[in-house]
Structure 1
Amino acid sequence: MRRLLAVFVVLVAGLAASAPSPASPREYLVYALNLLRAHSIDRDSLDWPEVEADALHLAANASGPAGTYPAIQSVIHQLGNPHTSLLTPAQAVPPLPQTIEVPTSWTSGDVAVLTIPQFTFDPAAERRYVDAGQTAVANADSSRPCGWIVDLRGNVGGAMAPMLTVLAPLLDEGVLGSFQGPDGTSAWTLRDGQVLLDGKPQAAEANPVRLARPRPPVAVLTDGRTASSGELTLVAFRGRSRTAAFGQATAGFVTGNEAFRLSDGAELLVTTSRAVDRAGRVYDNTPIRPDHPLPAATTNDEVVAAATAWLHTQTGCAHR
């Protein structure tokens, strides 16, 4: 589980920054430590001169970048944030664009079910993911459903903006949430189907789909593998009217990461912010409990049935 999270939680709030080419393992290590010191939300919890001295001692015999990894991981452990991690060059290689899972939909009576999988950041795959998602929403909407189920189960994270772009027709325009970091707050908003971070577009395209029955009730499905950007996508629905979550508690990585690429191809994923929903509730690395908890042994049909039954209690979707 931890490895899967580390591989897929790549970018939440920005593109990976490129490191200069250090001349020695010492410079490589110092560069990585400076990134943690400058950007981590937990940076004030450490005595950095002492931490750096200990890390340099631990990596004193390193002959290359890989030899400094244990020292970097030791500092990450001291920061105490489970969402911060170091990916080796092999772990940091994204999957082929054509292999990335895309959103799908189906309908059950007067309810549409939209599955939103994780999305590992890859510019070549983003349009494929968003286009498939737009098609899934449009196809499901053709039957004029009165309510929607958004399935985030198994969504272990990645880049948030493509997920929210696909879901734009189901989200109210305006502020969806924000990132709260030590240097300030950055709001995520939706305007005309475009996901913005502090007013700047975060996806390559807007979502032009408009629902036949706007602002429907929405049931969101979660489980223990709904993590990171999967959880942030849930946060975007928190505080929305006629919206409730069903299933099991999420994984508990409700924070924003920024990825920094190191000179050997490794990536340092630094937790830079906490999530805040539209109602002002602040989240951290603790699981989000659903509004309607269901036992882990509940079958998929039973989960969908429970969500559907709730949707049928909502205005405009009362079961006839």
Structure 2
Amino acid sequence: MRRPALLLSFLLFFIISSYGQKNEVRFLIDTTISIMRENSVNASKVDWVKVKQEATEKANGIESPYQLGPVMRYLFQSVDDFHGSFFYNDSAFNWQKQVNIVSDSIMNEWKKGPAIRKKMLEENIAYLRIPSMPAGSIAEFSQKAQELNDSLCQLLNNSPKGLILDLRLNGGGAMHPMILGVQNLLPSGKVGEFQIKKKEDWLLNNNSFLIDTAVLATIVPKCIKQARQLPIVILTGAQTGSSGEFLIMTFKGRPNTILLGATTAGYVTVNNGFQISDSAAMNLSIGYGADRNGTVYTEALKPDIFIDGPDSFNDLANDVKVKAAIKWLKKQ
């Protein structure tokens, strides 16, 4: 007699569990649409009635949140957001507008992990690689900014004729330590802004980086050299993205400064996180980055001198982009 009872209990558990998951699927879709409609930078361009209808149709047959990939990719595509992501426990879903091919040289260097590199090249020209810097705490931001500024100071102490900032391996992360780490090259005060519902200024003040009044990183400089007129070439590539692109924006309008290399990745939107449930969350593009003059950048950044050649990170003297940068700096 126990076996039928156990079987019935199992079937009831399965039915209740399945019904609960289907309810969760509907909740996650409806809540995601609601958050996008209220906060997406492109919300006003979307036919939300149509989007909800098509998302519902795509969800037919889905019984688990782990199967939501196609629906979430459709929703991000609907708001033209390839910078955002949907997370459910250990799964992540996003939409790729285009796939950038990663060269072997970039991939091999990425495998070594993010690292600052500095070197004095021919004609007393300085080279500084600024890698991706992961998000973290204010203490971690400050530590990363200090490491970068220490490296910059060591180069500036050589009184270089010019400087190459290499952002080809900079795919983003936290912009705060990147910008503060090169404060010697930038004017104090406003260096950029987030253009969202409420504009937020990026500020360099008293060896700190702030967004409006919030201090996000602080350093103790090892040098007092100001290099705001020093000629600079910023090397860019198809993998230069997100906070790497925001860093470039802080140099827009700076004299004696050019971009050289390939067009950047185009992740120029401001991302914000939203908690949907205990198991689900999302990052959503809610605005764009802008330079200190308020010029908004809604697309990938194009170089002043386009060079799409092989990268030679282990042989900078023969790297075609570095050689072109040195050639330009010699003329300044």
TM over 0.5: yes
The more displaced of 157-166 and 116-125 is 116-125
Q: Which residue of 1 aligns with 2:6?
A: none
State the 1:287 CA deviation: 2.6
Confirm or deny: 8 A CA contact 1:169 1:210 kept in the other structure. Answer: no
| Alignment check: 8 A CA contact 1:179 1:276 kept | yes
The whole-number CA distance in structure 2 between the counterparts of 1:120 and 1:91 is: 20
Query: Which residue identity is paired with 1:119?
Result: M
Conserved? CA contact 2:40–2:284, under 8 Å: yes
1:125-148 deviations in Å (ceiling 9; x for gaps): 545433321332232233232322
**Equivalent residue, structure 2, for 1:268:** 282
Look up the match of 1:51.
51
CA distance in 2, matches of 1:125, 1:149: 26
Report the equivalent of 2:260.
246
Counterpart position of 1:160: 175
- Structure 2 spans left out of the alignment, 5+ residues: 1-22, 93-111
Shift of the 309–209 alpha-carbon distance from structure 1 to 2, 3 Å rule, reads farther
Instruction: Supply the AA of the counterpart residue of 2:148.
Output: G
- Whether 2:327 is the aligned partner of 1:309: answer yes
| Aligned ranges 1:137-286 → 2 under 5 Å | 137-181=152-196, 183-203=197-217, 205-206=218-219, 208-215=221-228, 216-263=230-277, 267-284=281-298, 286=299
- Larger of the two Rg values belongs to structure: 2
> What SS is found at the alignment partner of 2:221?
coil
* Residue identity opposite 1:208 in structure 2: P
The verdict on how the C-alpha distance between 1:25 and 1:168 changes in structure 2, with shifts beyond 3 A counting, is: same
Find the residue that maps to 2:41 and give its secondary structure: coil
| Distance (whole Å) between structure 2 residues aligned to residue 242 and residue 306 of structure 1 | 15
**Contact 2:142-2:219 within 8 A present in 1 as well:** no
| Aligned 1:29-44 pairs, distance under 5 A | 29-44=29-44
In the alignment, is the contact (CA less than 8 A) between 1:33 and 1:72 conserved in 2? no
SS at match of 2:114: coil
Give TM-score scaled by structure 1 length.
Answer: 0.77
Residue type of the alignment partner of 1:131: Q
Q: Deviations over 1:156-215 (max 9, x none)?
A: 11221121121222221122122223x242221211232222232233x23534443532
Normalised by the length of structure 2, the TM-score is 0.75
Residue type at the aligned position of 1:144:
S
Paired with 1:71 and 1:47, the residues of 2 have a C-alpha distance of: 16
Partner of 2:105: none
Q: Within 2, Cα distance between the matches of 1:117 and 1:88?
A: 29
Q: How does 1:52-201 map to 2 (within 5 A)?
A: 52-59=52-59, 61-87=61-87, 89-90=89-90, 101-109=114-122, 110-123=124-137, 125-181=140-196, 183-201=197-215
Q: What's the Cα RMSD here?
A: 2.7
Q: Which residue in the other structure is 1:19 paired with?
A: none
Percentage of identical aligned residues? 29
Query: In structure 2, what is the Cα distance between the partners aligned to 1:81 and 1:167?
Result: 30
Task: Report the Cα offset of residue 233 of structure 1.
Answer: 1.0
CA contact (8 A) 2:309 2:321 kept: no
- Give the partner amino acid of 1:168: Q
The structure with more helix, counted as a fraction of residues: 2
Does structure 1 conserve the Cα–Cα contact (< 8 Å) formed by 2:146 and 2:221?
no
